Amino acid sequence: MIDGRAQLLTSLRAQFNADNHSLACSRVPWFRRITVPLRDDVCILGWLSRQTHLPQIYWSARDNSFESAGLGVAHRILAHGPGVNVSDDIFTLASEILAGSDEGVRFFGGMAFGERVQGAGEWADFGDVHFIVPRLEVWRRDGKTFLSCHLRDNDIDCTEENVLGFLEQVVFDDTLEDGLLEEPVSRDDKPTMEGWSENVSAALSAFASGELRKIVLARESIFDFRKPLRPMGLLNRLKRVTSDCFHFCVKFDTGSAFLGASPERLYAREGTRLASEAVAGTRPRGDSPSADDAAARELIDSEKDQREHDFVREAIMAALAPLTHSVDIDREPSLLKLARGQHLFSGIKGELKESTSDGCLVGALHPTPAVGGTPSADAVARIAELEPFGRGWYAGPIGWISADAAEMAVAIRSALVTQNQLSLFSGAGIVEGSTAEAEWLEIENKIGDFINIITSP
C-alpha cells in the first residue's frame, strides 16, 4: 500500500499545481476524485482498522461485488433534531452535489429508524441522518482495488498543505488483528422476558381491536466487557460467519460505532432500474439436511408466516406503484437461507420514473412492515410507546448513493459498540397467532452470530 500512497501524493501535487495555473479560467465540479490502483489483495477492513482519523465508514455488498472503506471527511450532510424533512431536503442536496461531481463520488451513511434519535448518549454523533463523502477511500469493484482522494474547490480546508498533511498521517498497513475477546461480565435485556410478554400481549390486543395488523417488536441486549472492544475486528469476525449479507460499520466523531450484517436490501438503483425485496417469516436452520428441509417446509406451509410476508409484499408494491412505470414481484415467495436462519423472500424489480429520486424511494419504502408494521404510522407510534429503549439507527436505512446508482440496506442484525459495551438489537414480526415464547426464541436466534463471536476464541 505504500506504493499507492506515493502514487496518490504525486497525482495530488500535480493536481494542486495545475489548479494554481488554470483554476481561475476552468469550470470544476463540486468534487474531483483522484484515483490510483492498489494491489488487488489489500485487506480493506484491515487498512481501516489501523487508522486513528475519524470518521470511518465501511461497506461491503451482499454479493461481494463492491467493498469500500472511507476515512476522514471531504463533505458532510448531518441533520440532528425534530422536523427534518429527510426525503426532500437531505437527499435533494446530496443529489445536487453528486450531479456536479466527478464520476464515482459517493455519499456513505444512513439514518435513524424513527423521526429523530431519542436523547443523546451513545447515538449523539449519528444524528437523524448523516452522510459523508470521505476524504480518502480504499475500494474494490469486481476484484480490482483502488485508492481515491476527494477534493472540493473553494473549501478552506481543502488546501494542498491540509490534504497532503492528512495523507502523510494515514497508516498504509492493511494487517487486521481481531484481538482476543474475553467473556462478557454481564448481560442486560431490554425488555426482559416479562416485559417482552407484556408487549406481545399489547400487540395481540391491538390486532383484536383492529388497530394494527402487524407490529415488529425489538429487544436491546447489552453486554459489558472488562476491556474496550475493537469494532473493525468484531466486524471481521462477524463477516466470517455471515455470508450473503451486507456488512457495514460507521464510526463518526467519538467513541461509538454502529456495525452489522444485514441480509435485507431496502433497494438498489442503477439509473432508473430498481431492485427491492420483501423479507419476512423466519425459521432457524436445521442441524442436519433433513432437519433443515423440515424447518423450510414448515415455514413455507405456515399460514401465519405467509400472512406476515404478504403484509410486506403488499406494502412495498403499493409504495412503489406511484414511483415506477412498471414494477413486478415474484409470484410466490422463495427461501433466503442464511447461516443461522431462513426467511421467506420475494424479489421485486421495477423501472423508475425519471422524477423519482433516492429521497422519494427512502421516504416511500422506509420503514417497511418487515421492521415497522401495518399500518405503518400506527405501528411505529406503538413501537415508541412499548419499547424501553431508543432504536437509534437500528432498522434504519444504511448504505451509499451516487449520481447514477445507489444501494441501501436495512440495518438489522446490528450492534452499537461504545468502549467496553456491546448493544445487540434484534426484532420479530408479531401478527395474530404469535406467542411471546416463540418470538423470544426467534430474536435470540437472530443475535446468535454475535453471541458466538463474543463467546468463542
Give mean pLDDT, residues 336-342. Answer: 85
pLDDT class of 28 with cuts at 50, 70, 90: low
pLDDT (average), residues 404-424: 95
Residue 456's CB is within 10 A of a number of other CB atoms, namely: 10
CB distance 257 to 250 below 8 Å: yes
Higher per-residue confidence, 313 vs 114: 313
Q: DSSP assignment of 17-75, as one string?
A: HHHHHHGGGS---SEEEEEEE--TT--HHHHHHT--SS-EEEEE-TTSSEEEEEES-SE
Cβ contacts of residue 404 below 8 Å, gap of 6+? 103, 270, 271
For residue 86, the model assigns a pLDDT of 59
Render pLDDT for 195-222 as a digit per residue (tens, 0 to 9): 999 999 999 999 999 999 999 999 999 9
248 vs 279, residue with greater confidence: 248
Quick: pLDDT tens for 69-87. 999 999 999 887 654 455 5
Q: At 226, is the pLDDT very low, low, confident or very high (cuts 50, 70, 90)?
A: very high
More confident site: 5 or 247:
247
Q: Which CATH architecture has domain 2-15+25-169?
A: 4-Layer Sandwich (3.60)
pLDDT of residue 25: 37
Q: What integer is the mean pLDDT of 223-244? A: 91
pLDDT the model gives residue 11? 78
Q: Which residue from 331, 330, 277, 334 is spatially nearest to 300, judged by alpha carbons?
A: 334
Per-residue pLDDT reduced to its tens digit, 149-170: 999 876 777 777 888 888 888 9
pLDDT band at 13 (very low <50, low <70, confident <90, very high): confident
User: 3-class DSSP state for residue 281?
Assistant: strand
CA dist 235 and 368 (Å) reads 26
pLDDT in the model for residue 80: 73
Dist. CA 344–CA 337, nearest whole Å: 9
Residue 115 has pLDDT above 70, yes or no: no
Whether the predicted pLDDT of 50 surpasses 70: yes
pLDDT, position 83: 46
pLDDT, tens digit (0-9, with 9 covering 90-100), for 366-404: 998 999 999 999 999 999 999 999 999 999 999 999 999
- Could you tell me if 131 and 94 are in contact, meaning their C-beta atoms sit under 8 angstroms apart? yes
User: What integer best gives the mean pLDDT of the chain?
Assistant: 89
pLDDT value at 307 more than 60: yes
What cell was used for 92?
435533494
pLDDT at 413: 93
Kindly report the CATH number that applies to the domain delimited by 186-455: 3.60.120.10
Residue 192 contacts by C-beta under 8 Å, 6 or more apart in sequence?
none
- Contact between residue 121 and residue 426 where contact means Cβ atoms under 8 Å apart: no
- Above 70 in pLDDT, residue 29? no
Q: What is the dihedral of CA 348, 353, 359, 365, to 10 degrees?
A: -30
**Are 244 and 333 a contacting pair, CB within 8 Å?**
no
Task: Compute the average pLDDT of residues 416-428.
Answer: 95
* Same fold: 2-15+25-169 with 186-455: yes
Going from N- to C-terminal start, the domains of the chain cover 2-15+25-169, 186-455
Confidence class for position 47, pLDDT limits 50, 70, 90: very high
Q: Which residues pair with 250 in a beta bridge?
A: 57, 258
Confidence at 19, pLDDT banded by 50, 70, 90: low
